[in-house]
Amino acid sequence: MPKRKALPPDSQRPKTSREARERASGITSAASTGVQRRDPRGLGRVGVILSEDHTWFADTLIGEINRKHRLVKDYKLSRSDLVRALLDALKASGIDLTSATTEGELRELLTDAMTPS
């Protein structure tokens, strides 16, 4: 029978197989937010479910932007770029969305804030 390797002390041993996978891949997750972070770039990975209409709109917009700027070297906008830009703009806008309790209310508040009076 082969000799077993000595196990690391409890403080260094992952508590679950998920922690072991995260440690091996360099990803750490924030359980409270559901965000996985890759340390080097500081970007998180979040899954978002979109309708076919949302996906079509985003892909069409991104395609038009990429075609318009196709001569720019190494330029290719992605869905992630679009989502990050939208969130950055929303954050900078100062629009108060805290009264919304549903997706519909969020949509209404955002539409009202972006529609010229």
Return the domain boundaries, the chain.
52-114
The yes-or-no verdict on residue 1 having pLDDT over 80 is no
What pLDDT score does 2 carry? 59
3-class DSSP assignment, residue 114:
helix
The yes-or-no verdict on residue 3 having pLDDT over 90 is no
Q: What is the mean pLDDT of the chain?
A: 79
**Spatial distance between the Cα atoms of 46 and 4, rounded to a whole number of angstroms:** 39
**Spatial distance between the Cα atoms of 112 and 104, rounded to a whole number of angstroms:** 12
What pLDDT score does 60 carry? 95
95 CB-near residues (< 8 Å, 6+ apart): 109, 110, 113
User: What is the percentage of the chain residues whose pLDDT exceeds 90?
Assistant: 46
Token pair of 104, please?
A: 């519909």
